[in-house]
Structure 1
């Protein structure tokens, strides 16, 4: 039954792709920063050692990068809430036809996960390309670590997906839990 919900969610996400652009772009921006910070972390650590407190400065830089990524994921959550509000009548029809809550929630979670995943992958890819170009051009004096770029990409994708799910579960669960008659009469 969950598989049917995921299939329905995939079809709905394809239909609503234009509404996922802003959340994906915002997430991509955060992912881009996270990957570049991880890629240049060795150089940042080296330069900050000259200033003293290298570990604290490195942690602060990573914290800032992850915060920017989470701001992007917050946009995914806002988009999910907006999507749920626009799909109230559709949720009422699903509930009135006896569709259980779990597949409905799964269907509603497809969109934020796709937006977060697409944004994180695009941002990570652009950051890796930027890091490679910067390293090849010698613009970054301390270098860009390939391992750091890979770790940053993994962190960006994982954090984006987990945060998108975590911030989207509550509004989707609440929407799927509404009585169908209420969703049908109040929906737009």
Structure 2
């Protein structure tokens, strides 16, 4: 789960910085006459990178569930209800998404503040933009991780115990 967390952190970093510099990007793109189009494209690229990290979380979740087939069969054979099993399996992808997003947010906020103080960003970095980007990055990461991980975990927890025990050996 380390690589998905790093990829999610990279996406969150990009989202936060894009939102932090969005006012300046908008001002510069207005001079070109394409303010709305450029702003939308920049945000779309940032969110796409974030979703790539979350897709990686989903792939790792699917592999993890596949490796735990026998364990799931034992739990089902002992009468453990499906919902707690699914909840337990969702801990890893949620943790990877949250930790990755928070790490990316923290790094982006620090970078944005340093860039703003040093004057390295001609248009400046907006604290309101950093805050909005931070919220969006965390919410999108968590929501997408849950959305992409629920189906494989639910399907695995729904298999009959005999089938899980036989195929997981």
Per the TM alignment, residue 179 of structure 1 is displaced from its structure 2 partner at its CA by 0.5
Runs of 4+ aligned structure 1 residues displaced above 4 Å come to: none
Equivalent residue for 1:13? none
**Cα root mean square deviation, aligned:** 0.6
Paired with 1:143 and 1:72, the residues of 2 have a C-alpha distance of: 28
- Pick from 90, 103, 112 the counterpart of residue 122 of structure 1: 103
Superposed CA deviations along residues 43-89 of structure 1, whole A, max 9, x for unmatched, are 00001011112011101100110000000000000010010011111
Equivalent residue for 2:70? 89
- 2:79 alignment partner, SS class: coil
Pairs within 5 Å for 1:14-93: 20-93=1-74
Paired with 1:150 and 1:93, the residues of 2 have a C-alpha distance of: 45
Per the TM alignment, residue 150 of structure 1 is displaced from its structure 2 partner at its CA by 0.6
TM-score using structure 1 length? 0.89
- 2:125 alignment partner, SS class: coil
Equivalent residue for 1:3? none
Asked whether 1:154 is paired with 2:140, we answer: no
Per the TM alignment, residue 95 of structure 1 is displaced from its structure 2 partner at its CA by 0.4
Asked whether 1:165 is paired with 2:146, we answer: yes
Equivalent residue for 1:4? none
TM-score using structure 2 length? 0.99
Superposed CA deviations along residues 19-56 of structure 1, whole A, max 9, x for unmatched, are x1011001000000000000000000001011112011
- 1:162 alignment partner, SS class: helix
Per the TM alignment, residue 128 of structure 1 is displaced from its structure 2 partner at its CA by 0.3
Paired with 1:40 and 1:82, the residues of 2 have a C-alpha distance of: 38
| Number of residue pairs the alignment of both structures matches | 169
Gaps of 5+ in 2: none
